[in-house]
Structure 1
Amino acid sequence: MTPHTEGLCGRGRVTVFAMFGVVVGYATHHLDRRQIGDVAVVGPLTPGVEWPRLWQLARNCARTTATEEELARWILTQATRSFICGSDRVAQFQDQGWKLEPGGKRVSFDATCANRDHLWTGNLTVEGLTPKQVAQHPTRYQG
């Protein structure tokens, strides 16, 4: 796990979904010219919710002895589930701009998870979302 001090901007497929009431964005980033989307970029979109909330949700839902990599896998699994199944999906874009703010946390996986080698989390913004789409969603579950 490493913190990151640089921001990141990209354009491509973005999945926006609700998780325990928080609206979250999921995009991919390429580290080289192969453009295989080896980095999962995940961050909260709900105003006032900061990126550590993702890790808190993972910690609350994972086993008590889970490692940082296991928590990262949990976060990526939730994002992938929404992308594939449409669970709690708010929006799906094929070609949308997004921005990951400086700060956050980066984790490299020992083995590929959901076709990704890395998870980068941080405060995220996605172009074209309305205030209603990113507002806190009602939920039965507390994460």
Structure 2
Amino acid sequence: MKKYIFFLLALPLFLACSNDDFNNSNRYLPSYNFSIPIDMSLPLYSNLQFTSNPVRITTDGIGINGVIVMNTGSGYRAFEASCPNQALSDCSVLQINGILAKCPCDGVEYSLFTGDATTKVEFPLKQYRVEVLSSTAIRVYN
């Protein structure tokens, strides 16, 4: 009987644990840990205060080929600036084209709102986490 009572008391603790369902695995792109605060009051990042204005961040140690961050209107999204369906090479750096990112290796375009490709491919864009710190600051991390 004591085992059942213990189980009933422990059950809410197990149910309270959450998995953020954040899958970042891609066989072409390695995962590196990084964290970068972004102050949108600085001119370099001021476009992020407005919807649909992606910004590429190429600071050393941030992602593989940098990070593309965009304000979607309902939050911020950050993606790796490398083609997700190609082995790393000279042509695997994404090019920003409005609200799309295009891979010059294979010509595939990806939405910066969702990270999904406009055609059928194996992997979407590699997404990174974004934490809103204040009305003018966010943190992108992996």
Normalization by structure 2: what TM-score?
0.28
Q: Which of 1 and 2 has greater Rg? A: 2
Identify, as 1 or 2, the structure richer in strand: 1
Normalization by structure 1: what TM-score?
0.28
Higher relative contact order (CA 8 A, sep 6+): 1
